[in-house]
Structure 1
Amino acid sequence: MSLSRSAHAPIGVFDSGVGGLSVLRHIRAQCPQEDLLYFADSAHAPYGEKSEAYVVERSLAIAEFLLSLGAKALVVACNTATVAAIKAVRARYPELPVVGVEPGLKPAAAASHNGKVGVLATARTLQGEKFLQLREQISSATGAEFLLQPAVGLVDQIELGDLHNPAIAAMLEHYIAPLLEQGADTLVLGCTHYPFVRDGIQRVLDNHGRSDVQLIDTGDAVARQLVRLLTAASLLRPSAADTVSAPATLRAYTSAPVAAMAAAFEHLLGWHPQVEQVAV
């Protein structure tokens, strides 16, 4: 496949579902001039309960689809897919700027006062070789203790779209309370879905008298890294202030029926892009 090298080409962003919208909003905020493509693999979500080989297969297929639409760069806006598949994506497209997301262990270790950091993530993320290497590296360098908590089923509930669902509140209590009991003073949101239930997480902290616990979300850092890679490759689209150009566009795709994805854009971001269902 011939890769696009034009600064005016779009940026491709994908996730297993709606979680990547939390990253997409940071990209739009930092790159308002860029055309964006978003793919939600909701028909195959959640990735956190799938095998690594399956996640790699899906990620490569989605990458090929986004590149067929002319993407000049890819953002793997899913912690599980980053852990499992970003190495394979970069190996297949070595000249393509590819940005992944990973749990913010380093900033969490720096923010923690007592060295105890809770990590809320999918089981697949916490079991991944990339994550375990990162944990060992940062733990050795900082002395931080990372308390790992797989949040089984939480992504499924968030995908349903009702963020005030009592089931979500019960899950957050069930998963976060043990981390607080172990003394965590910092909590890593290790899945791009989790920032959308940040208010619910804060309520759990408040109810336990732990409103001082810091929450770490790496979406902003992902957008900054994307800007750095595009700039280095001379692929950053000139801003509207610098040139006469059409308004930036957003095209959205999903492997599931479009209604849920369109509702997610509206409820989570207040955006109303056209959403198309595609078989990938």
Structure 2
Amino acid sequence: MDAAMDDAPILFFDSGVGGLSVVAPTRVLLPRAPIVYAADSAGFPYGIKSEAEIAARVPALLGRLVERYRPRLVVIACNTASTIALPVVRAALDVPVVGTVPAIKPAAALSRSRVIGVLGTEATVRQAYVDDLAARFAGDCTVLRHGSAELVRLAEAKLAGATTDPARYRAVLGGLFDQPEGARIDVIVNACTHFPLVAAELAAAAPAGVHFVDGGPGIARRIAFLTEGQGWPAGESVHRAVFTRLGDAERALAPALADYGIGTIEGL
């Protein structure tokens, strides 16, 4: 890449702030990479939308974002958007696109009871893509699923500085543990990028010995592989967040974004 391309950012896209759980491990591996974090706040949350809405909305938005920011790589840091719109986005854009998929393979490798929980949004857990992952990588496991819009709201509230009630996390996890064979779950897949943001709260609400896994570190390794050998800015990189609706709620996220090195906030 020439000197001008050294400044080309990595674009992370999510409906809200969940994709920060992918930004964090990426910054560890690529500390000089400039980042644009795009949140579709006007369309949030994705998990309760129809497949048709997401399949139409995500490629159109990413087209606008790519035109504005000219990234070297796009990361759809959202399980719901990835499981529904990833093929269409890849066909529409002329830059590499990395998606996010539920970490069922590492969960199966870790499980001893052979009962795994998949915790995601309603839209993600009902996808045939999840059926395929379970069949390919966890064929000898019982894979239980639960979709929770509540947990997405809790993660957003936490990052906005609100105090959240531990009972709400216990209620969400009850959607898994109260199913037949749910008491045997020993590994839970956080199949929404929002959920690692409340990892401590989930761990405190879960029975002892239950492990949580997510795809963030694996996605970061994939990004590092795809950008290997490329140039980065010589000085300190500028990281920015862009929202499709920029109001008081989005501005309230500024301290949390700053914790991830993102100091500039703007609207699309």
Pairs within 5 Å for 1:91-170: 91-93=91-93, 95-140=94-139, 143-160=140-157, 161-162=160-161, 164-166=163-165, 168-170=168-170
Code of the aligned partner of 2:92:
R
Q: Specify whether residues 38 and 267 from structure 1 end up closer, same or farther in structure 2 by C-alpha distance, changes over 3 A only.
A: closer
Q: Specify whether residues 259 and 28 from structure 1 end up closer, same or farther in structure 2 by C-alpha distance, changes over 3 A only.
A: farther
CA contact (8 A) 2:15 2:39 kept: yes
CA contact (8 A) 1:15 1:76 kept: yes
1:27 aligns with 2:17: no
1:255 aligns with 2:251: no
Deviation at 1:56, TM superposition (A): 1.7
Deviation at 1:170, TM superposition (A): 4.9
Q: Which residue of 2 aligns with 1:196?
A: 197
Q: Which residue of 2 aligns with 1:277?
A: 267
2:175 and 2:240 mapped to 1: Cα distance?
Answer: 35
Q: Which residue of 2 aligns with 1:13?
A: 12
Deviation digits for residues 222-255 of structure 1, max 9, x if unmatched? 0100111222xx5x334x7xxxx12111121001
Length, aligned pairs only: 259
Deviation digits for residues 62-91 of structure 1, max 9, x if unmatched? 211221111111000000000001111111
Code of the aligned partner of 1:248:
S
Q: Specify whether residues 114 and 19 from structure 1 end up closer, same or farther in structure 2 by C-alpha distance, changes over 3 A only.
A: same
Q: Secondary structure at the match of 1:47?
A: coil
Q: Secondary structure at the match of 1:237?
A: coil
CA contact (8 A) 1:163 1:197 kept: no
Q: Secondary structure at the match of 1:43?
A: coil
1:51 and 1:213 mapped to 2: Cα distance?
Answer: 32
Code of the aligned partner of 2:56:
E
Q: Specify whether residues 129 and 91 from structure 1 end up closer, same or farther in structure 2 by C-alpha distance, changes over 3 A only.
A: farther
Q: Specify whether residues 144 and 265 from structure 1 end up closer, same or farther in structure 2 by C-alpha distance, changes over 3 A only.
A: farther
Q: Which residue of 2 aligns with 1:52?
A: 51
Q: Secondary structure at the match of 1:6?
A: helix
Question: Which segments of 5 or more consecutive residues in structure 2 lack a partner in the other structure?
Answer: none
1:176 and 1:249 mapped to 2: Cα distance?
Answer: 41
1:261 and 1:25 mapped to 2: Cα distance?
Answer: 19
Q: Secondary structure at the match of 2:212?
A: strand
TM-score w.r.t. the length of structure 2 is 0.88
Note the aligned Cα RMSD (angstroms). Answer: 2.2
2:43 and 2:88 mapped to 1: Cα distance?
Answer: 19
Pairs within 5 Å for 1:167-182: 168-178=168-178, 181-182=182-183
Q: Secondary structure at the match of 2:253?
A: helix
1:258 and 1:49 mapped to 2: Cα distance?
Answer: 22
CA contact (8 A) 1:172 1:201 kept: no
2:99 and 2:8 mapped to 1: Cα distance?
Answer: 19
Q: Secondary structure at the match of 2:252?
A: helix
1:26 and 1:259 mapped to 2: Cα distance?
Answer: 28
1:173 and 1:188 mapped to 2: Cα distance?
Answer: 12
Deviation digits for residues 164-194 of structure 1, max 9, x if unmatched? 3227435434335426843101011110000
Query: Percent identity over the alignment?
Result: 31
